[in-house]
């Protein structure tokens, strides 16, 4: 596996979590294993690795779920974007190609773990291509563009995370001194790192919020 010195940035859809790599490996591939299908919510995970020593998190931190004793999977807890597959013992982090600012830069060289490749995989490049979003309605495309909460495909010096994930939710810390409801109430503690004295060891308020918010309505 070759290491290529290059600058690569990416992150999640809402922009709460951003990363930068100063080198990449030439291992771009599509993994069809059942775990990658679940982790990506898709029929395969398109992945390319950054050496761990070249990868840094430039905004926020990914949330991590261990899918096995050997593998961590990273994602944004705010918007849900899957970000990486990290084999704990091989020194590299396979980034989700769709999370890169320029996903065109890494064409895949291999299909891997194909025991669960969907039976119709070979047909996907031959099906109807309905063209640009505008083809489905200029008004629709304009409305999406106008109201988009998505982080742009380049690094930003500052960024206020927007979004409405939490609008239907409310929650707070254990003692009730800090309550959050609506998107901004959830997002701002992430940025400011507020803590409630009722449970200072447990970290930022947002963490306390997320659990009741995401765990139950």
Q: Which of residues 130-189 bind Zn ion (CB under 5 A)?
A: none
Q: Which of residues 73-112 bind Zn ion (CB under 5 A)?
A: 76, 78-79
Question: What's the token pair of residue 79?
Answer: 């918007």
- Residue 47 binds Zn ion, judged by CB under 5 A: no
Q: CB burial class (10 A; 0-12, 13-18, 19+) of residue 184? A: middle
CA 141 to chain centre: 23
With CB under 5 A as the contact rule, the residue among 3, 23, 27, 33 that binds Zn ion is 33
With CB under 5 A as the contact rule, the residue among 16, 83, 187, 190 that binds Zn ion is 16
With CB under 5 A as the contact rule, the residue among 8, 10, 14, 54 that binds Zn ion is 14
Beta-bridge partners for 73: 65, 85
Question: What's the token pair of residue 203?
Answer: 């970290």
CA 129 to chain centre: 26
CB of 99 to Zn ion, least distance (A): 10
Instruction: Evaluate whether 75 touches 89 at the Cβ level (below 8 Å).
Output: no
With CB under 5 A as the contact rule, the residue among 8, 24, 30, 36 that binds Zn ion is 36
3-state SS assignment for residue 135: helix
Q: By rule CB under 5 A, what count of residues binds Zn ion? A: 9
Q: Which residues bind Zn ion (CB under 5 A)?
A: 12, 14, 16, 31, 33, 36, 76, 78-79
């Amino acid at each position: 596996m070759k290491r290529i010195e290059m600058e690569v940035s990416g992150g999640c859809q809402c922009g709460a979590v951003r990363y930068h790599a100063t080198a990449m490996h030439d291992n771009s591939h599509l993994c069809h294993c059942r775990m990658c299908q679940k982790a990506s919510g898709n029929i395969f995970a398109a992945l390319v690795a950054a050496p761990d020593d070249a990868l840094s998190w430039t905004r926020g931190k990914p949330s991590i779920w261990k899918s096995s004793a050997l593998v961590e999977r990273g994602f944004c807890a705010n918007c849900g974007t899957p970000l990486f597959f990290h084999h704990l013992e091989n020194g590299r982090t396979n980034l989700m190609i769709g999370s890169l600012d320029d996903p065109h830069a890494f064409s895949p060289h291999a299909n891997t773990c194909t025991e669960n490749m969907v039976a119709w995989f070979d047909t996907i490049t031959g099906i109807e291509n309905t063209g640009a979003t505008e083809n489905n309605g200029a008004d629709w495309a304009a409305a999406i563009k106008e109201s988009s909460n998505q982080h742009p495909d380049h690094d930003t010096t500052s960024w206020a995370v927007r979004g409405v994930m939490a609008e239907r939710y409310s929650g707070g810390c254990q003692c009730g001194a800090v309550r959050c409801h609506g998107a901004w109430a959830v997002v701002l503690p992430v940025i400011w790192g507020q803590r409630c004295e009722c449970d200072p060891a447990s970290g930022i308020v947002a963490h306390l919020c997320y659990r009741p918010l995401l765990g139950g309505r």
